[in-house]
Amino acid sequence: MAMLKTRLWMGSLLIALVICVLLFDPAPWYPFLLMLALLLAAVGSVELHQLVGAAYGLPLWLSSGSVLMVLLANWPAHLWPSRFGNDPWPFVLAAFTAVMLLGFLVEMAAFRPPSQNTEVSLPGSAVVAHLALLVWITVYLGLLPSFLLQLRWFSGTALALGIFVPKCCDIGAYFTGRLLGRHPMAPVLSPKKTWEGLLGGLLLSAAAAVAINRSLSVVPGGDPGAATFGLVVGGAGVLGDLAESMVKRDCQRKDASQMVPGFGGVLDVTDSILFAAPIAYYWLR
């Protein structure tokens, strides 16, 4: 019961924070969204570093800096729209390419033959392991959130759909699973998830999509289109949740951190949103 109370007050606080960002960002380049995105990315990078990066010897400054660089690349096209035409993706791609080049430069500068490297012992190529981990972290915390951020320039409603639909699926699955859950859905990855919870989550995400879309229609097809959007985006969020659960179980950790009381870490709060963001983006563009 204590955990439920903590989840309720912290969840209410997070919802209020998102609503403030949606309603009260004063400038057309959305500085509050920028600050929130950079803060969450910085904390998430530290959490991933503690989960996997430190064990593989990947420098925290490199992984965190790479993520922040890709996220910042979402803004120049919107700061100077007359010059760049409001298209952020060339900047994002350029930043991602720069990250890859920087990763190679760092590895070349620090390279030692395996016989002389006593810091980290890895099977196979340590260089390939470092670069693969850098790519994964940058995609997970830099590229995937970029799809979510770009929804804001579609409309506030689009961003609300990208955030609240997958989170409503989380909420519906949690409470339905607690009340009615009987049949485990993915016992190896997440033992507490049930098929009953999944059904309740998808129904709530569909209802949330319909309700939000009625405020300002951005999903084509009216209520049926919005409900379908909710089911698909909510389902993608479930996959994101399971993906993060897999990483945590592989690292023998229950939560990414204890940064967010009642939920775990920033990664535990945002995992479903990250996987849902690309689908929401391409659906609404």
Per-residue pLDDT reduced to its tens digit, 122-179: 555 778 888 999 999 999 999 999 999 999 999 999 999 999 999 999 999 999 999 9
pLDDT band, residue 35 (cuts 50/70/90): very high
pLDDT, position 257: 82
Give pLDDT, residue 22: 84
In this structure, are 84 and 186 located in the same domain?
no
Q: Do 159 and 281 fall into the same domain?
A: yes
Which secondary structure element, helix H or strand E, spans residue 190, and what is its range? Answer: strand 190-194
Whole-number percent of the chain with pLDDT over 70: 95
pLDDT score for 120: 54
Query: Domain check: are 111 and 96 in the same one?
Result: yes
Q: Is residue 1 part of a domain?
A: no
Judge whether 92 lies within some domain: yes
Who contacts 122 (Cβ-Cβ below 8 Å, separation ≥6)? 56, 57, 129
178 assigned to some structural domain: yes
**180 and 231 in a common domain:** yes
Q: Is the pLDDT of residue 73 over 90?
A: yes
Whether pLDDT at 121 is above 60: no
Tokens of 70: 């890709």
Q: Tell me the C-alpha distance between 205 and 227, whole Å.
A: 8
Classify residue 220: in a domain, yes or no.
yes
Do 163 and 280 belong together in one domain? yes
| Whether residues 167 and 92 fall in one domain | no
Asked whether 234 and 279 are in contact (CB, 8 A), the reply is: no
The C-alpha angle 271, 179, 177, rounded to 5 degrees, equals 25
Residue whose tokens read 């209520």: 223
Cα 159 versus chain centre, distance: 13
Which 3 state secondary structure label does DSSP give 86? coil
From 149, 176, 192, the end of a domain falls on 149
Contacts with 186 (C-beta within 8 Å, 6 or more apart), sequence order:
193, 242, 245
Domain assignment present for 15: no
Specify whether the CB–CB gap between 266 and 40 falls below 8 A: yes
Check whether residue 121 and residue 177 sit in a common domain. Answer: no
**Do 125 and 167 lie in a common domain?**
no
Note whether 207 and 219 are within 8 A (CB).
no
pLDDT value at residue 208: 97
Mean pLDDT across the chain: 90
Residue 113 in this model has a pLDDT that exceeds 80: no
Q: Is 145 exposed, middle or buried (0-12, 13-18, 19+ CB in 10 A)?
A: buried
> Quick one: 106 and 197 in the same domain?
no
| pLDDT value for 270 | 94
Domain boundary among 114, 149, 184: 149
Residue 70 lies in a domain: yes
Which structural domain range is residue 168 located in? 155-285
The answer to the question of residue 8 being in a domain is no
DSSP code for 187: T
One domain for residues 67 and 143: yes
Render the burial of 8-39: b for 16+ CB within 10 Å, e for the rest: eeebeeeeeeeeebbeebeeebbeebbebbee
- Whether residue 75 sits in one domain with residue 135: yes
Residue finishing a domain among 149, 177, 198: 149
Sign of CA dihedral 199, 279, 43, 30: negative
* Structure confidence at residue 100 (pLDDT): 94
Rounded to whole angstroms, the Cα distance separating 78 from 90 reads: 12
Q: How confident is the model at residue 6 (pLDDT cuts 50, 70, 90)?
A: confident
Q: Model confidence over 196-219: pLDDT tens digits?
A: 999 999 999 999 999 999 988 999
Q: Within a domain: residue 38? A: yes
Residue 83, pLDDT score: 84
Report the number of distinct structural domains present in the chain: 2
Please indicate, yes or no, whether residues 139 and 159 belong to a single structural domain of this protein: no
Provide the token pair at 179.
Answer: 């009340």
Band (pLDDT 50/70/90 cuts) for residue 183 is very high
Mean pLDDT of 80-103: 92
